[in-house]
A and B are shown apart, each in its own frame.
Chain A
Amino acid sequence: MARRRGPHRAGAWPWVFIGPLLAGVAVFYYYPIVSNAWTSLTQSGAFGTNQRFVGLDNYAGLVDRGDLGTAVLNTLGYTLIVLLGVPLSVMVAAMIELPGLRFAPLYRALFFMPYLAMPMAIAQVFRLVFNGDFGLVNQGLRALGVNASPYWLTTPGFALVAVALFGLWSSIGFNVIICCAGLKGVPRELYEAASLDGAGPVRQFWAVTVPMLTPSIFFLTVMQTIAGFQLFDALFALMGANNPAMPQTRSLVYLFYQLGFVVNDRGSAAAVAMVILVFVAAVTAVQFWGQRRWVTYA
């Protein structure tokens, strides 16, 4: 019966496969997004009472406030730094998965560890690492002869870099594992063929590993971009709400949290959420559009 159909004409089957997921997503995510979109066009009391329609006033207000621009730039900066983790992870994974490398499981475990961290507890450690007076980073800099020892977490500019380094540290474990998993799918014959052609390890990396990993790299790039735009936890855990550098370091989601949950301006918060959605959707669309140029599927 299936044989009679064209190779891709599957009838109702796709809906059987995606239906359960879409049903849950519709209830728990689309409904809140639609309700958020509506909220962004209204103003109301702190708990959603006395809601009234105000059109695009909240969006206009955001543009007037000016802190939206700072938040966009901070979010972009953070995302770019964290994206460096993707090439880094490809290299680490390529090394770990080298044929015949001993202790590979140990390395995999070590690199994976940051992904296990409970942000609340580990941020405590990182606060000490970045501490301006006696932190390890500044001690290291001093040992290298660099005498400027900034208060990393409380100086505008430095704070964003410190938070991004923390973000890089916490995301690398996942990236490495995805790349390792991706490398499992690479047939050994490709390496052997390359080796017979006289390709050294570096050539093999560029000629075999990277092209074969493009689906994983694409996935990680898209996910890290989306995750970067959701920057909040790292900022909150590492810097704290009462940080003098926060006004210059706030991310878009932090702005959302502050408007919605601290100063009780629900309409403006919802507008920020919509801005984030449009922004990330645009970037992701570009990434998907670009993928056909460089991503090779089996």
Chain B
Amino acid sequence: MPETTPKRSGRRRRPRHLLVHAVLLTGGLVMAFPFAWQLLMSLATNAEIQSVPPQPIPSRLHVENYAAVFDRLPFLHQFGVSVFITVVRTAGQLVLCSMAGYAFARMRFPLRGVLFGLLLAILMIPSQAYIIPQYGIVQAWGLLETPWAIVLPGMFSAFGTFLMRQQFLSLPVELEEAARLDGCNPFQTFWRVMLPLASPGLFAVGITTVLYSWNDLLWPLIVTTRETSMPLSVGIATLQGQHTTDYAVLMAASVMAMAPIFLLFLAMQRRVIEGLATSGLKG
């Protein structure tokens, strides 16, 4: 939207924006600062990282930490597993959660409130309480060591459903009624009319699921034991040793793991904004 703002109003407000810029920039730097430090750590020696008091600036840039990641982990392989589980989980959640969220927001059916409450209840139990029974299920299905074991439980998300429900609730009812009058069945109404309007919600669910899958540690760690079936998050966790850990390499690995997601976010951010600018939402 900012791109399509008429020049007139932009010019009128600019002086007031100075304060806004100051606040946002300060806040933004506080947000980003730990990453800058992490980046510096990834370029230091392990001795420098652990020295007391800390020396935030490395004596020279130890780029070899990044090369060392490839020696210690089958990085590309684990990266591939991460991409696979992230794509499958995200696609699954987008479909399942937007459908269920739409039904909870816009359809009337018996036990709607109770079912929704029961759905949210799954977020209220410590996730560690799930792992032993869930392990039993994927083990019984013969899925251990496969990406499907990692993907499965996380495809069904109460969080995503709730988010999509809120998204659909905030959309105007008129469009839907118009579609119904045009003879669309509920699925067509949902698919052709409502879903395109829900793109901010889809974007939010998507990015959450991507991150959740990408950084998820406990569950994938339980169901994969081989180096080559692990996603990156688990691979990086194996860099921790019993009495000593090479934090420099660990930091480098986590920077490498984070970078693609960050780039993805930057790319998606622009596309969503562009998508919105051309959608009929502005009326």
The answer to whether A96 and B14 touch across the interface, beta carbons within 8 angstroms, is: no
Q: CA A215 – CA B180 in complex, angstroms?
A: 25
Q: Which residues of B contact A56 (CB under 8 A)?
A: none
State which size class the interface on A falls in: 35 or more
Q: Is the interface of A mostly helix, strand, loop or mixed?
A: helix
Q: Which residues of B contact A104 (CB under 8 A)?
A: 2
B16 to A, closest residue via Cβ: A201
Determine whether A153 belongs to the interface, using a CB cutoff of 8 Å to chain B. no
Sampled A-B contacts (22; CB under 8 Å): A9-B108, A14-B107, A17-B103, A17-B107, A35-B133, A98-B20, A103-B21, A105-B270, A108-B269, A110-B29, A110-B32, A125-B38, A125-B41, A178-B163, A182-B170, A188-B1, A216-B170, A226-B120, A226-B124, A229-B124, A230-B123, A230-B126
Determine whether A286 belongs to the interface, using a CB cutoff of 8 Å to chain B. no
Q: CA A180 – CA B275 in complex, angstroms?
A: 15
Q: Which residues of A contact B177 (CB under 8 A)?
A: 7
A1, A111, A122, A189: the one contacting B28 at CB < 8 Å is A111
Question: A residues engaging B (CB < 8 A)?
Answer: 1-3, 7-10, 13-18, 20-22, 24-25, 27-33, 35-36, 48, 92, 95-122, 124-126, 128-129, 131, 133-134, 169, 172-174, 177-178, 181-182, 184-185, 187-189, 201, 215-216, 218-219, 222-223, 226-227, 229-230, 232, 252-253, 256-257, 260-261, 269-270, 273, 276-277, 280-281, 284-285, 288, 297-298
The answer to whether A98 and B17 touch across the interface, beta carbons within 8 angstroms, is: yes
The answer to whether A285 and B129 touch across the interface, beta carbons within 8 angstroms, is: no
Q: CA A96 – CA B1 in complex, angstroms?
A: 12
Cβ distance A5 to chain B, nearest Cβ, rounded Å: 9
Q: Which residues of A contact B217 (CB under 8 A)?
A: 120
State which size class the interface on B falls in: 35 or more
Q: Mark B140-159, 1 if CB is under 8 A from A, else 0.
A: 00000000000011011011
The answer to whether B121 and A277 touch across the interface, beta carbons within 8 angstroms, is: yes
The answer to whether B265 and A284 touch across the interface, beta carbons within 8 angstroms, is: no
Residue from the set A99, A133, A189, A222 with the largest chain B CB neighbour count within 10 Å: A99
The answer to whether A118 and B170 touch across the interface, beta carbons within 8 angstroms, is: no
A91 to B, closest residue via Cβ: B23
A13, A24, A106, A124: the one contacting B155 at CB < 8 Å is A24
Cβ distance B266 to chain A, nearest Cβ, rounded Å: 6
Given A10-B186, A111-B28, also A101-B2 (CB < 8 A): yes
Further 19 A-B residue pairs, CB within 8 A, beyond A17-B102, A124-B38: A3-B180, A3-B181, A10-B109, A13-B107, A17-B190, A29-B130, A32-B125, A105-B266, A107-B28, A109-B265, A113-B32, A117-B258, A122-B34, A133-B52, A184-B281, A215-B167, A223-B162, A252-B126, A261-B128
Q: Which residues of A contact B201 (CB under 8 A)?
A: 181
Given A36-B129, A95-B20, A99-B9, also A276-B124 (CB < 8 A): yes
Q: Which residues of A contact B171 (CB under 8 A)?
A: 185, 298
A110 to B, closest residue via Cβ: B28
Q: CA A182 – CA B169 in complex, angstroms?
A: 12
Q: CA A119 – CA B250 in complex, angstroms?
A: 12
Given A29-B130, A99-B2, also A2-B200 (CB < 8 A): no
A218 to B, closest residue via Cβ: B166
Determine whether B54 belongs to the interface, using a CB cutoff of 8 Å to chain A. yes
Q: Which residues of B contact A169 (CB under 8 A)?
A: 30-31, 34
Given A28-B153, A114-B31, A177-B204, also A187-B10 (CB < 8 A): no
Determine whether B247 belongs to the interface, using a CB cutoff of 8 Å to chain A. yes
Determine whether B282 belongs to the interface, using a CB cutoff of 8 Å to chain A. yes
B34, B121, B152, B251: the one contacting A281 at CB < 8 Å is B121
Cβ distance A289 to chain B, nearest Cβ, rounded Å: 11
B49 to A, closest residue via Cβ: A124
Determine whether B74 belongs to the interface, using a CB cutoff of 8 Å to chain A. no
- Mark out the residues of chain B between 89 and 126 whose CB falls within 8 Å of any chain A CB in the assembled complex: 96-97, 99-100, 102-104, 107-109, 112, 115, 117-126
The answer to whether A181 and B187 touch across the interface, beta carbons within 8 angstroms, is: no
Q: CA A280 – CA B17 in complex, angstroms?
A: 41
Determine whether B215 belongs to the interface, using a CB cutoff of 8 Å to chain A. yes
The answer to whether A21 and B31 touch across the interface, beta carbons within 8 angstroms, is: no
Q: Which residues of B contact A284 (CB under 8 A)?
A: 117, 120, 124
B100, B247, B281: the one contacting A21 at CB < 8 Å is B100
Determine whether B257 belongs to the interface, using a CB cutoff of 8 Å to chain A. yes
Cβ distance B283 to chain A, nearest Cβ, rounded Å: 6
The answer to whether A182 and B200 touch across the interface, beta carbons within 8 angstroms, is: yes
Q: CA A288 – CA B128 in complex, angstroms?
A: 26
Q: CA A94 – CA B41 in complex, angstroms?
A: 34
The answer to whether B121 and A33 touch across the interface, beta carbons within 8 angstroms, is: yes
A7, A28, A131, A285: the one contacting B134 at CB < 8 Å is A28
Determine whether B241 belongs to the interface, using a CB cutoff of 8 Å to chain A. no
A104 to B, closest residue via Cβ: B2
Given A32-B130, A125-B41, A177-B204, also A276-B107 (CB < 8 A): no
